[in-house]
Amino acid sequence: MKRILIADDESHIRRILEFNLKRAGYEVLATEDGRAALALALSARPDLVILDVSMPELTGLDVCRRLKADATLEATPVFLLTARGQESDAEAGRVAGADQFFTKPFSPKQLVEQVRQAVGEP
């Protein structure tokens, strides 16, 4: 089964994403801060990582950068979620190596669709 890691400090967002992805058949790991996300990513080896940009401790951008710097996780797709939707954010996301960029509010249906395209059927 394909494993997805979600990191967002907003519990409601975490919950609905988790719900939708699980319903689509994926295994989901969820955490509320960047540091934990990094640790989980290294230990649980997810097939795809979804990161909120603004999180305490370590931002989504930081986590993304570190994942992309790790030789074993380099190929793992990373989706970033941002609440700002500004050019500069998208640019920063690209620089950090993110594969997809979603501006809140986003459509969970579309997100699940993108996940399916990135990692295939669960």
Partner 1 sequence: MSHRFRWVWPVSIRRQLVVGVALVHLVLMTVFVLTLVHRQKTFLLDRAERRVLFQAELLATTSVHPLLSSDLAGLGEILAVLVRDAGDVPDAMVTDPRGRVVAHRQLGEAGDRLDDATIRATVAGAPRARLVARGQHTIHAAAPVMARGRHVGWAWITGNVSAERAQLDDVTRTGLVYTGVAVLIGTAFAMGLARAILHPLSLLLGGTEQVSQRRWEQPIPVTSTNEVGTVTHERAQFEAVLSGIGEGICVTDTVGRVLMWNRAAEQITRVPAPVMVGAVIPGPLCLVDGDGAVKDFARTVMKRAIDSGEAVSTAATKLMRLDGSVLSIGMTSAPIRDHAGAVQACVSVFRDVTRERDIDRMKTEFVSAVSHELRTPLTSIRAYAETLQDLVGDEATVQEFLKVIEEEAVRLTRLINDVLNLSRIESGRVRFKEESIALAPLVARAIQTAEPKAAMSNVRLATDVVPDLPPFRGDADGIQQVLTNLVDNGVKYNRPGGRVEVRAWLNGGVRVEVRDTGIGMSPDAVRRLGERFFRVDSSETRRAGGTGLGISLVKEILQAHGAVLEVESAEGRGSAFRFVLPVGGGA
Interaction mask 52-91, partner 1, x per CB under 8 A: -------------------------------xxx-x----
The residue with tokens 């909120």 is 52
Q: From the CB of 87, what's the least distance to partner 1, in Å?
A: 7
Interaction mask 17-56, partner 1, x per CB under 8 A: x-xx------------------------------------
Q: From the CB of 71, what's the least distance to partner 1, in Å?
A: 34
Return phi, psi of residue 57, to 5°.
70, -75
Judged by CB under 8 A, does residue 109 bind partner 1?
Answer: yes
Judged by CB under 8 A, does residue 107 bind partner 1?
Answer: yes
Burial class (CB in 10 A: 0-12, 13-18, 19+), 11: exposed
Whether the upstream peptide bond of residue 105 has omega within 30° of 0, thus cis, is yes
Q: From the CB of 22, what's the least distance to partner 1, in Å?
A: 12
Judged by CB under 8 A, does residue 104 bind partner 1?
Answer: yes
Distance, first Cα to last Cα, the chain:
5
Look at residue 69 and give its three-state secondary structure.
Answer: helix
